[in-house]
Amino acid sequence: MSKFKKILFPVDLSESSAQIIPFVASMAKTFQSDLHLLFVARVFKYYDTIYVPPVSIVEFEEKVVKGGKTRLDEFVEENLKDCCVSIAKVLPGDPAEEIVKYVDAEGIDLVIMGTHGRKGLDRILFGSVAAHVVTRSSVPVMTVNPYKMKK
């Protein structure tokens, strides 16, 4: 069996992220892995073509990243203070693309992420970050649907 030295847990800071922590903690403990948390703050660069001043967009994105870092720190304190989080990072960008890039850049061995189980119009409008990561990741991806977990 492979040794998962570095596990990436991408979070969206929602309740569903918190629900899959038992899986993440169990895997990190079993393999004595370094645990990386990643929150990707969506960027709004596509709005610069509709007469929104670029400075406003940049300032807003900076505030979103700063707020994301604050919330990620709170998330770790609330949910993972007993787990070995090695790195908790916030990046701006498209979540699916940034997760895949992070995997390669940081030498991640396993990704564990939640799914939202979106269907229909929601899936068309928002896409599926998990599906993108599963199909493009160079490492194994464990997906957990928090709404189908046995209690």
User: CA torsion sign, 20 to 111 to 145 to 131?
Assistant: positive
In terms of phi and psi (left: phi > 0; alpha: psi -120 to 50; beta: otherwise), the region of 25 is alpha
Torsion of CA 138, 142, 145, 148, to 10 degrees: 150
**The token pair that represents 63 in the structure block:** 């505030």
Q: What does pTM read for this prediction?
A: 0.85
16 touches 147 (CB < 8 A): yes
Model confidence at 53, in pLDDT bands (50, 70, 90)? Answer: low
**Residue 136 pLDDT:** 94
